[in-house]
Structures are given as structure tokens and as C-alpha cells.
Structure 1
Amino acid sequence: MQSQQKAESDLLRVYGRLVSLTLILIILAVIGFKYFATMPQLAARSVELEHTRFLNVLAMVRSQWLSLGKPQQMRLDWEVFNEQSVNNDQTSVLMSVQGWPQPSHLDDQSCQLLWQQLMGQEAGDESLIGSYFAKDNSCRYRSKNGDSIGYQLNSGRVIFLTSS
């Protein structure tokens, strides 16, 4: 009789552990689902912050351009001299007649380089991919989630577009 009670007790203990483990897995699944559901919102917020930062940088560059007497190209104050960067094109930014930073060439790579110069990002940072659009003479910086920042080279206008 005691061995049967001991077997039943062991069986109930195992059953209790299975129920506890199942509940813990369900709770972890719910938490994981909610976490991964918010990831696109966090990415969108990141691009939105970059948009605001880009507007501020453009205002500072234009102000610096005006204070320096409207040069055709200028070196940005926040760029640190890099000994590996022998080419002066990488350390100076071309400016339009209206005072807006311009890429050195009208292509995707130059738009990407312009973003890196203005925002101070390393060349390996691929958070936003730059593309040139000849139709409206603009650079568009697109994130992996589809949000984008458009920069019209003629007017300095910046447009933030969301994918949702």
C-alpha cells in the first residue's frame, strides 16, 4: 500500500512540474511575442529621430555656411581630421548657391557619403541606404523597414515618409 501511495505522490509531483513548466513557457511566449511585435515601432522611431537630427544638422551647416561668407565648399566643424583620409573631397562638403549641402556626384554612393559626412556616421553603418533620384534631384535615405527621409538638393527640403 505504501509503495502505491509513493508512486501516486511521485506522479502528482511530476504532473505539477509539467503544469508549472507549461505555464512558464506560455508566459515566456506571450512576452516574446509582445517584444518582437514592438520591434518595427522602435525602428520607425529611430528613423524619426534621425529625421529630426538631420533637420538640425542642415540648419547648423547652413548657418555655418552663412557665417563663413557663403563658400562653394566647406569643411564641417564636427569632422575630426583623419590621417587615412588624404582625399580632400571626403572632408569637405560642396554647397549649393542657396546654401544646402550637395553630394560630390549625382549618384547613390555620393548621397550615401553626404549622409555620412553630415550625420557623422562611420562608413560601415548601414542603418539608412542612400539613393539618388534624378526626377526630383533628391537623395532618399531608406531604412530596412521601408521608412525614408528625402532630401531635395535644390531647396533643402526634407521629407519624412513612413511605410505604414
Structure 2
Amino acid sequence: MLKQQQAEGDLIKVYGRMIAIGVFLLILAMLGLRHFNSIPSMTGKSLALEHNRLLNITAMIKSQWLSTGRPKRLLLNWESMAPDVHTNNQAETSDSGQLLLQATDELDAQLVATGNWISLSDKGWPLINSLDVSGCKRLWYQLLATQLNDIDVSYDADTSVCRYLAEDSTSISYQFSTGRILFFQADNIKG
């Protein structure tokens, strides 16, 4: 009888451990789902921060445009504003003494080769260099010096608007003919 009671006690301990592990895994699953469901909203919050940065930068460009005599182009030099920040670009000298530049992606290469010159409208607002999605992507990179991760870009030729859309339907629209920057927050209503 003692062996049977000991076996039942061991069996109850095993069942108790299995239930504890099950509850622990259930709690981890719930936390994981909550975390992964919040990722799109974090992209939207990031886009809200970029909206504020974009407003400040376009205001700064307009101010610089006015103070320099309303030129058609301005050089945006982010490195001179933060000289201690190192970029991903590397410079090497060839055997002939030429400076060779290596960039991490196509936009870096374009900006390194041409400088970050931005065209301006007759009212001082930044313009895109090509009337398509790649022009909108380049404008974003020129103004904010950040990549468009998890953000879809579209261009509307009828209204001259670049639209930057996050996964949660939060978006920024930039109408370069008027300099209007609109931020649209997605409605998070769950039924």
C-alpha cells in the first residue's frame, strides 16, 4: 500500500508540474500575441515622430531659402550639423589618387556622388527630382536621412502628392507644389 501511495504522490507531482508548465506557456503565448499585435501601432507612432521631423525640416529649409536669396536649389548637409556622427559611407583613395566612395545602398550612392542638393519650388518648398515613387523615396531620404522601413510609398500625379503609408494605415502626405504636409492617424476601433 505504501508503494501505491508513493506512486500516486509522484503522479500528482507530475500532473502538477504539467499544469504549471501549461499555465506558464499560456501566459507566454498571451504576452507574445500582445507584443506582435502592437508592432503595427509602433510603426504608426514612428511615422508620427517622422511627421514632426518633416514639419521642422521643411520649415528650416524654407527659412534658409528666404535667407539665401530664394535659390532654385539648396545643399542639405546633415554631416555638418552633426560632425561626430559617422555615416555608413567609406572613402578610399585609389592608386591614381582618386577618391573612391562606397555607399551601403543606391540612395547613399546618389547623395554621395551628387551631394544632397534639393530642388525648391518658386515658393521655397522641396521638390522631388522625378515624378514617380522613386522620386518620393529620394525626397524622404534627402529630408530625413532615414530609410523607409515598413512604409509603402505612392505617388499621385494628379495632385502632385507623395504618400507614405505605414502598416496600420497611418500616413503622411506631402504635396510638394504647396508644401502641405498632412498626417492621417488610423482609427483603432475594435468591434
TM-score by length of 1: 0.86
- On the 8 A contact 1:112/1:131 being kept in 2, the answer is no
**Residue in structure 2 matched with residue 10 of structure 1 by the alignment:** 10
Alpha-carbon separation, structure 2, partners of 1:128 and 1:16: 47
Q: How well do the aligned residues superpose, as a CA RMSD in angstroms?
A: 2.1
Deviations 1:57-102 (A, max 9, x none): 11111111112211101111315696455642x5200000100000
**Residue in structure 2 matched with residue 77 of structure 1 by the alignment:** 77
Structure number with the bigger relative contact order (C-alpha 8 A, sep ≥ 6) is 2
Identity %: 40
Deviations 1:14-55 (A, max 9, x none): 111112112212222222222223222212111111111111
Cα 1:77–1:91 shift into 2, 3 Å: closer
Indicate yes or no: 2:24 matched with 1:24.
yes
Corresponding residue SS for 2:78: coil
One-letter amino acid matched to 1:52: N
Structural mapping, 1:1-150, within 5 Å: 1-79=1-79, 83-84=101-102, 85=109, 87-88=113-114, 91-122=116-147, 125-150=148-173
- On the 8 A contact 2:48/2:183 being kept in 1, the answer is yes
Alpha-carbon separation, structure 2, partners of 1:87 and 1:4: 83
Deviations 1:135-157 (A, max 9, x none): 11111112233321111111101
Alpha-carbon separation, structure 1, partners of 2:32 and 2:146: 32
One-letter amino acid matched to 2:183: F
- On the 8 A contact 2:41/2:168 being kept in 1, the answer is no
One-letter amino acid matched to 2:118: V
Alpha-carbon separation, structure 1, partners of 2:43 and 2:149: 13
TM-score by length of 2: 0.75
One-letter amino acid matched to 1:153: F
- Which runs of 5 or more residues in structure 1 are unaligned? none
**Residue in structure 1 matched with residue 84 of structure 2 by the alignment:** none
- Which runs of 5 or more residues in structure 2 are unaligned? 81-86, 90-100, 103-108
